[in-house]
Every structure is written in structure tokens, then in C-alpha cells.
Structure 1
């Protein structure tokens, strides 16, 4: 038995206002689906017999939204999209026609689970395509005909997204239609593809979603570079490169940049594979993967902040930390990757181990690093040049220097020294260290050549 549909009172009031003015009005689409599944909702879709100009008369604070006669009504903690009964043009171009019944409106929707309407005033459900039964059986099925999915090729990705979010199964006819017409995905904008792909990555069953993208050939029109890893075997992992990349999604938290790292962290391996006596090696694969990942993310129109974050993490995901490494090595690592990234890298390493067949996420070296980081947090330093008690101007004044490369060399030397011992980070001590390192014993100016000794 599915739970009863519960609609908030302020949303009920919107329905009442339409009915009191002589119009039909229903809660529709994903809102009904989620309510039947017992999921909390903050976005509500209302479909009404009112025309667009009539909608605004009934709900004066509603504002035009999009190209389909839709209006948006924003409450304190909810968004209500109000749309007239309509029939969309194929391809969901900015063209639609008004229809006279809720049944006609439901017939143009993508999947049966989204083609349900609910009248909360009369407590009446309209389900002409068997959506409730498909929800009970956890099935994703095209509304009316499998051709429905290719009226807008993005619906293929939506089918996979619903599968990944709800843990549903795509029924055979719909699945066949997705695979048979997968090349039509090329007609969809990169931004729309990006948005659906991101939702798949952030779903509860993202790994299953990624596998479905592969099995339906959709992945070939999103990140074809990943397919190069199919059949490229690791000598020390039970999975090939493609599956290893996809399976990482199982073990990463729901943060978009982490999920993208998981999918793309080893994408460069097939392009640098070298056959050795015991199997394939992938020298410098993290650098090559970062370069390919950047191309992929720019092609999919991800924002620059996300791209920068993902590339940085991929470049450093092969960091090394041994069980015997000391605090200096831990500080050097934090200096290299930043505090803002170190725990992401630890999560990536843990996921990488599990996706490589290791029974435990944390090995001795990683355990040592985690323990060392707990100690370093108490030092309250970022381990970069801004932390130094001495600045470039201090060196210039103290030693009568001119601005130039030597200043940077001295500061780098001093930073490395405080990575070994943060207690040295006092202005007088650092100036004395600079003097002893670079100033000849007989006096005079700083000697740049001594830096390399």
C-alpha cells in the first residue's frame, strides 16, 4: 500500500482559489509521485484549466516563468509552479498549445510515474496510464508509447536519473527506446546534459545509474573518454579501468566535485598504459587524467570553481604517505594541497582503495596521516607563505635587498624550516636564519648562490 498523499495547507489554498474562480486545478507530476513515495517536497507543480492571463488574475503574486505559460508562486518555504493544461511541441521547443482536460495534459508527460494528477479538495486521483501501479512495482515506463521518450531526447537521461534516485527498474520497451535512439542525445545542449548527469551522480544509486548510462550507450555521448578504459586491465585490481572509475561513485559522499573526481580520476590511464612483465603500468596517469578531466568538464559547461577543484584533487589523488612518515611530511602535504582539500583527498583515497578491491578503506599509511592531521589542527597554521612571521618587505629592509627572485627563495627556505618546526615562526628567529643561510661569514650582502648549497 502506498501512503496517503499529504499536501500542505498553503498549497491547498492555491488549489481552492482556482476552484473558487471556476477553474479546475490539480497537483501533478513529480510532486504526486514523491508524495505517494512518502518523500518530503518543497516544490509543487499545479496544472489548471485557467489560461495564462487568468492564472495571474487568480494568483496576482505569481510571476511568468519559462516559455510554457508557466507561473512561479514563491511562498516562505515552498515554490509552486502553475501551468495551464497544455500539449508540448516535439522536442520541447518554446511552443505549446492549450488543451481542455487534465487527461490530455497528462498524456504529454514523459513517464507514467509522472503522469498522475491529484485533486486535494475532492481527494481524487487521476491516473489514466497506470502510474500508481508502476510506482508500486518500481517501474519506469514511457507514457503512452516508447516514442514519447524521444520527443525530448533528454528524457533518456531523466529515465536513468529516476532509476538512480528511486532504485526503480526501466521496463524493456522504454529501455530499448533509450538505447536504440541514444545518438539523438547529441541534439541536446551541453548544459541540459550536465544538469541531468550531475543529478545522476548525486543520486542514492549513482553507480547503478552510471552503469545504465554505459549499457544504453548514453555515456558515449556524455564522456566518451571513459569508454577507452573498457577492457584495460589492472594487474593489481579485480576491475578494468572503466569499471574502477564507475565503481568509485559507490564510496564517495554526495558532493558533486567528489563524484566528478571519482568518475574521472583515472580516465587518463588508457592513454599512458605501458605493458610490463607483470601487467600494465600507468605512469603519470594522474596528470593525464587531470588534463582530460578539464576538457570533459569544460565541454559539459561546468563552472570554473568546480573544474578547478576537481582538477586539483585529481592531480594530487596519488599522494604518498607512509606509516613511518613524520609531522614534517604531513605539513608538506597540507602545504601542497591545502587544508581545504586534504580531507577530500583522504575520502578519495579511501574510495579508491575500496574500488580497487581492498577489504579496508584505511591502510597503515592513511591511518598515520589522519592521526598526524589531528595534531596539526592544533597548530592553527595553513602552512603557506602567509603564515610566515617574516614578509618580503621585512627581508628587503633588514638586508638592504632589492625586490626579485631571491626574496621568494628565502621565503620558501624559511617556510620549509617552519614546516619542520613551527616554533621557529617568530620574526627575529626567521631573520637570523635567513642571515645565517645566505649571508657570507665575512659580512656583506646576501649571497644568492648559497641558496643551492
Structure 2
């Protein structure tokens, strides 16, 4: 085992304090996992730090808490043998070294006390199994039994033990391998990649929440297509997101072909990732075309069509979110809205941009009109430079029109200037369909540019509409 020392990695006073508490208790302690990996990668080290004690992690956490000033928050989880201390901007998780064994139908291990070596054996990847000693006698010593440091240099994702066992025991590790490959731009070792393909069905025992947590991290990586392609290659993607893989393939009838909407989608996700870190906008990019598989039809006269794919896709978003136990709240509604409206600016960019069409776009998209434009710009994947330039120029015109129309007409999230109560009072009406008809007519007149978005114009329009409906103005 290497005798390298890296004291500079653990200069923060907290590590020395943990070492002192460990010496007093007579236990060995180590910092392990992501903190060590990211230090050697010259990445910003995480604020959540894993500490392993060869003994009781809870006892060590309590001893450390006593030494810290300001009575830090300490949470003890006896069932898991872990404890967490929140101190300033750090989150320290303490656990006793352990060895694990698994039942076939569960990713919850049977845990026993173990040595540091046992604990390193149970880690997911060699690059996450490196540990730095914290006791005074060997402070800063690197314990790297699986050559994780060499794997960092080679940019390889490799499991400490036989990969088939590692992935079968805890199938979430398959997603984690792909996520690290996507985040770090590393390559998954071939043997390991094959083991993921062989164990793909095991992902079904993992909860939707855990899978989505890894999926979100893949989507938030610099180039999400790296991870998504690996999920596709290993057979995980058809199990987790069948709506997406259903888009794959190019069909040709009578010499007419359509593009491969799966690979197009991955391009769109990469494009949007260059301009936004908004996770839910990236989800919208991933799902914007899922309605194309169920709506695909061939017509002899016009070729391939995907009529109403945006509407169908927005409905599919709900089922997908529910299945994966994703939030069925405003975040989901945002993704649905983006999918539903994903073609609207594209149609505007192809046609002559009228003020009324832009007003309707701004009215329907509301606060999300800028996000919608970002999605549509990412949807330009043509390799024809002339077409690409034309689309980009047209989208700039649409964006400029949005600014002009919004400044003049204020239709984003607007409410008609005349309220339902005022309509009732003016015509002495009880709640009735006429009120809805008049309100809708005022809204349409503003969006069409027939009247400005102002009270006086709307009031006069209301009187005219009421007259057509044979309503009498209530005299004062």
C-alpha cells in the first residue's frame, strides 16, 4: 500500500480536530469518498464530507461535537449507525467502518462492523474508495488499495470488486457510474460497461426517486448526451424512459424519410445546456418531442406527420413524472407547458411575424416566454449553415417583437381591464354565460390588436358587445 502523504488536502482545522477526538477515543478515522476524489481532481471540494471510523461513528461524532465551539447541530441515526454534524458551511457524516452483504431482491445491505479495508471494498468505484488518515500518527496518509489515483489519471470509472457483483448488489451504482462518466468526462471501463448491460434489469428494484436523483445530475452535467447515450447503450434508458427511446429510428416509405427524433433530442438537450442551468428547462428539452412516437403517420400526398404531438407529449409528461415519482407540482406544469408550446415560436419564425401572433404567444407563455424561446433556439439542429442562420435571425426578430409588444401592450399575465363584477353591475346581471362571453371578447380584441389594453377602450368595447347580446345598461 502506498505511503504517500497529502497533508495539504486536509488543512482545514476540522480534520485536525477529528484526528484529536479519534486519538482520545483510541479509534482510527479517515476522510473518504468524494472529498478525496475531488481534491485530486483539482475540483472544488464538496462541503459534505464522509468520515469513516474503525469503531463507532456515532461515538466519534459526539466527541467531535463536544470539541466544536457554538454547539453545532448533531443528528444521530442509530438504525444506520451514522451521525451528522452541521458546522458553519460543512456537513460531516460519520459512519463506522463496515462490510455489507445483499439479498437478491433488495439494495438494502446486511451490515456488520468491519475494517477500513472492508469499508473500501464496499465502495462503488476505485476513485471513491481512496481515504486519507486523520490520526496524528499518520495524518494525511493516502490509503488507496485499488489504485484509484491511477484511475483518476487515466480518467477511468472502475469498480473495486468484480463489476457484476458490485452492480447486482446495488443496481443504483450503474446509474452512478454513468453519472460520473458524464460529469467528469471519464470512460467506464469496458468490463464494467458490459456488466451494466448484463445487469440492466436489476435497475427495476431501485426507487424512482433514487433513479431521478442520478438522472437530474446527468441532465445538469456539461454535456448530458454523454450520460444519456451510455444509458441507451447499456439498455437502462428503455427501462427508465421508454417514451424517449421510442423516438429512435428513421423510417422510409416511398422515398420519404423523417429524422431520427431520439438523437435529435439529445442534440437539443446539449444545445440548451450551453445556455441554461435550469434543470426543468433541460427536462423540457429532453421531453419536447416524446409525443412524436404515438402521433407518427405517413400520408401519400404530404409524407410524414406528427399532428398534435405537442399536446399528446404534454399529457405524457404527467404519466412519466408520476411513474418516476417526480414532483407533480409547478415544476411538472412548467415542463408540460414548455412541451405543449414547443412549436409555437418555430411557426412564428417561419412565417411573417404579426403583432397579434406575438401577443398570443406572450399571453399564453406568461412569465415563461423567455424559457420557451431558449428551448426553441436549442431545437435548431440542422447542419445546413444557411438554414441555421435563417432560423437564428428569425428567432431574434421574434424576441425583439416580444419586447416591443410587451412594452406597448403589457399582455404578459394580463387580466382584462374590465372585471366580471363590473360587467354584472353595468348590465344588472347575475352570474351567467354572458359575462364569460364579454370577458373573452375583450381579451380576444386586445390580443388581436383591435383595441389597446386600456380601461376606457375595453369599457367601450364591453358596451358594444353587450348591445349585440341585447343587454341593457343599468341606469344609475
Pair in the same fold by TM > 0.5: yes
Q: Give the 5 Å matches for 1:223-372.
A: 223-233=241-251, 239-252=259-272, 253-277=276-300, 279-305=303-329, 306-319=331-344, 320-322=347-349, 324-338=352-366, 340-354=367-381, 359-360=388-389, 362-372=391-401
Give the aligned partner of residue 68 of structure 2: none
Q: Give the 5 Å matches for 1:21-36.
A: 21-36=25-40
Q: Distance in 2 between matches of 1:336 and 1:436?
A: 26
SS where residue 72 of structure 1 aligns?
strand
Give the aligned partner of residue 95 of structure 2: 83
- Contact 1:67–1:94, Cα closer than 8 Å, also in 2: no
Deviation at 1:105, TM superposition (A): 1.1
- TM score, norm. by length of structure 1: 0.89
SS where residue 80 of structure 1 aligns?
strand
For each residue in 1:204-246, what CA deviation from the matched residue of structure 2 results, as whole angstroms up to 9, or x when unmatched? 2310100000000011210122222221359999841221122
Q: Distance in 2 between matches of 1:244 and 1:205?
A: 14
- Contact 2:356–2:448, Cα closer than 8 Å, also in 1: yes
For each residue in 1:38-72, what CA deviation from the matched residue of structure 2 results, as whole angstroms up to 9, or x when unmatched? 11121111111231452343134521248531111
Deviation at 1:22, TM superposition (A): 2.2
Q: Distance in 2 between matches of 1:401 and 1:238?
A: 55
Q: Give the 5 Å matches for 1:59-138.
A: 59-60=64-65, 61-65=73-77, 67-90=79-102, 91-93=106-108, 95-99=110-114, 101-119=115-133, 122-138=139-155
Deviation at 1:89, TM superposition (A): 2.9
Q: Distance in 1 between matches of 2:18 and 2:390?
A: 51
Structure 2 runs not aligned, ≥5 long:
1-5, 66-72
Q: Give the 5 Å matches for 1:407-426.
A: 407-420=435-448, 424-426=452-454
Q: Bigger relative contact order, structure 1 or 2, given CA contacts below 8 A and separation 6+?
A: 2
Q: Distance in 2 between matches of 1:330 and 1:97?
A: 65
| Count of residues paired in the alignment | 440
Q: Bigger CA drift: 192-201 or 133-142?
A: 192-201
Instruction: Specify which of 211, 214, 233 is matched with residue 193 of structure 1.
Output: 211
Deviation at 1:25, TM superposition (A): 1.2
- Contact 2:36–2:132, Cα closer than 8 Å, also in 1: yes
Would you say 1:374 and 2:403 are equivalent positions? yes
Q: Distance in 2 between matches of 1:356 and 1:402?
A: 60
- TM score, norm. by length of structure 2: 0.85
Q: Please, what is the CA RMSD of the aligned residues?
A: 2.7
Give the aligned partner of residue 166 of structure 1: 184
